[in-house]
Structure 1
Amino acid sequence: MQASNRTARTAGILFLLTFVSAIAGAALYAPLLTDPNYLTGPGVDTRILLGAVCELVLIITNIGTAVVLFPVLRRYSETAAVGYLAARIVECTFIAVGILSVLTVVTLRQTAGADAAEYLPVARALVAVHGWTFLLGPGFVVGIGNGLLLGFLMYRSHLVPRPMALFGLIGGPLMSMSGIAVLFGAYGQSSVLSALATLPEIIWEASLGIYLVVVGFRRPRNTGTTEATLEQPHVLGKLANEHS
């Protein structure tokens, strides 16, 4: 099972890196996202550019989790595994659009000069675009991909404890529904209700990353199967059908 555990630990490290890069990016972006007059102020452009780099790392690690896990997860449901990979790509597309909107504000601040005040409405619109990309990507698509689909795959495969996978199965749809509620103005994205709806998904992703790094994949529950045999795809597929 050494190859499988290598895959598990690689995926776990990537999951933890998504947390670090997402939090760092949000913290570095804060001056631009919270100051409506950022364009006409002194600016902290280098900090914003570092935030963009963090979000590029986030894109790489996001897609990396799905690519690394795909050969394992497809043995339990190829449709769900492809769906998870596709959801990760869609999420990262939203993140990339958000990066472009923020970098455009930086470019406006650096080139507008004395006319910077005239471009304030444009800058604020670009910040609004970033807000929507965050809601629709990390705030909605993540609940479908990382939550529902990945939770289903981990629950079905027994690769992690089933109670842990339930956090994804329940937390993912809850997070996506909360995103829809925010979309229609039921409450704010930074409200207590939104935070509570997002919490199970955060617990799921964090616990999954830590579990995969520390423990790796659990063995399929078949005491008559050797470790060497478990590495064969057709045996893993058979075991998956037995557990489903």
Structure 2
Amino acid sequence: MSSTRTAAVAAGVLFLITEVTAMAGLALYQPVLSDAEYVVGAGADGRVLMGGLVELILVVAVIGTAVVLYPVLARHDHGVAIGYVCGRLLEAAVITVGIISVLSVVTLRQDLAGTAGQDNPALVTVGKSLVAIHDWTFLLGPNFILGANSLLLASLMHRSRLVPRLIAVIGLAGGALICVSATAVLFGLYDQISVWGSIAALPVFVWEVSLAVYLIVKGFMPSRDTSAAEPRTEPSVA
């Protein structure tokens, strides 16, 4: 298997991992995110800690997509390739902040809640603040920054024809739509976890899944394979 084909398969697998872990992490976090008094209640710490572990896998996969794609993308547009790597690193960093905020609620519940002399209303306030941090990171990372990264990658894929144009167009539409939706959520037009939020997120989900499946099954398009961009070595004349 050529290095380009290996990169395609690896990127496809990593994109699928990001989709699965993003949804699983959000589901596992629900006891903290949906209960304002989780920090002083019985808690479901094991489930929440598992969510943190799943999201750590998400962080690794997000960075991994940029790392494995960089050598391929750089042969077509070095600036965009660098921008995509930086964007994915920023996205991973924002997600990590969200992980820390949620796990901090668990620490507060385990170490302080229920002990003599503790001010439970104050703990609830701190817990809500930490959840609010997670909610903002969830808006900035998997929405604004993800949308910008999708636009970068899809635009390069469209120009270079590394994948079919339809897939790249879905990425361009999905990246733009999720940025618009994130702006609407930012100004309170609707909640991020809502019918409209889900509809806006669907195209970028389709983009990443279709890109992942294509890269795993087909690899980069042969007519535009990066191997064609490699310089040819002329035989020396004795």
Using the size of structure 2 for normalisation, the TM-score is 0.91
Which residue does the alignment assign to 2:139?
A: 135
Deviation at 1:231, TM superposition (A): 5.9
> Does the CA contact (< 8 Å) of 1:84 and 1:149 recur in 2?
yes
The partner residue of 1:192 within 187, 190, 195 is 195
Rate the CA distance shift 1:70–1:206 in 2: closer, same or farther, 3 A. Answer: same
Moved over 6 A (4+): none
> Does the CA contact (< 8 Å) of 2:75 and 2:229 recur in 1?
no
Q: CA RMSD in A?
A: 1.7
Rate the CA distance shift 1:116–1:9 in 2: closer, same or farther, 3 A. Answer: farther
Deviation at 1:191, TM superposition (A): 2.3
Structure 1 spans left out of the alignment, 5+ residues: 222-226, 236-244
Which residue does the alignment assign to 1:37?
A: 37
> Does the CA contact (< 8 Å) of 2:4 and 2:227 recur in 1?
no
Deviation at 1:116, TM superposition (A): 6.2
Task: Please state if 1:213 is matched with 2:210.
Answer: no
Structure 2 spans left out of the alignment, 5+ residues: 233-238
Partner Cα distance (1:49, 1:62) in 2 = 20
The partner residue of 2:179 within 163, 176, 184 is 176
> Does the CA contact (< 8 Å) of 1:109 and 1:116 recur in 2?
no
Alignment of 1:1-244 (within 5 A): 2-112=2-112, 113-114=114-115, 115=118, 117-118=120-121, 119-145=123-149, 147-220=150-223, 230=227, 233-234=230-231
Rate the CA distance shift 1:116–1:17 in 2: closer, same or farther, 3 A. Answer: farther
Deviation at 1:96, TM superposition (A): 0.6
Partner Cα distance (1:9, 1:26) in 2 = 26
Partner Cα distance (1:117, 1:139) in 2 = 34
Deviation at 1:220, TM superposition (A): 2.2
Identity of aligned residues (%): 50
Partner Cα distance (2:229, 2:202) in 1 = 37
Using the size of structure 1 for normalisation, the TM-score is 0.89
Deviation at 1:143, TM superposition (A): 0.3
How many residues are matched?
228
